[in-house]
Amino acid sequence: MQHWMEWAVAFFLLLGGSFVLIGSIGLSRMPDFFMRLHGPTKATTLGMGGILLGSIFFFSISGDVSVHELLITIFLLITAPISAHMLIKTALHHKLKAIDKTAGLDNIHPAQQKQHDRQPKP
């Protein structure tokens, strides 16, 4: 393997790894559920992208061209926002408390209105 390619693989692995680490730090460090969600949904996508790019480089130079990893990236990009959406919807449904300085808390209430809250039709 050429020397500079090793550098490229190492660079992408480190980049990806540090973004995943930052996402996890955000998960443990933020004060309330809604803020915790931001780390894993975003920092982790780029982190995984970096690790997978490293994998593409590594396997492409040590053998055949390897592009499977692109599929993982695509599926991750499609599913990450949906799982985040399901989590935050559940949090709203359970009426989890956001920290006090959160602005616009009154915007939540209409979103929590569901079918059974409505007046039954005569």
Partner 1 sequence: MRFKPKYRWLPTPYRSMLLLLVWLLLNQSVEAVHLFFGSVLALVIPLLTLRFRDPQPLIERPVLALRYILRVFGDIITANAQVAVLILGPKRRLNPAFVRVPLDLQHELPITILASTVSMTPGTVSAEIYPSAELLVPGEPLPQRWLLIHVLNLSDEAELVASIKQRYEAPLKEIFQC
| Interface positions with partner 1 (CB under 8 A) | 19, 22-23, 25-26, 29-32, 34-35, 37-39, 41-43, 45-47, 64-68, 70-71, 77-78, 80-82, 84-85, 88-89, 92, 98-99, 101-105, 107-108, 110-111, 113-115, 118
State which residue, 3 or 80, has the beta carbon closest to partner 1: 80
Report the nearest approach of partner 1 to the CB of residue 122 (Å): 15
Q: Which is it for the CA torsion 36, 39, 45, 50, positive or negative?
A: negative
- Degrees, nearest 5: CA angle 39-55-1: 140
Report the nearest approach of partner 1 to the CB of residue 96 (Å): 11
Phi and psi of 102, rounded to 5°? Answer: -60, 130
Distance between CA atoms of residues 64 and 72, nearest Å:
18
Report the nearest approach of partner 1 to the CB of residue 47 (Å): 8
Distance between CA atoms of residues 39 and 33, nearest Å:
11
State which residue, 2 or 65, has the beta carbon closest to partner 1: 65
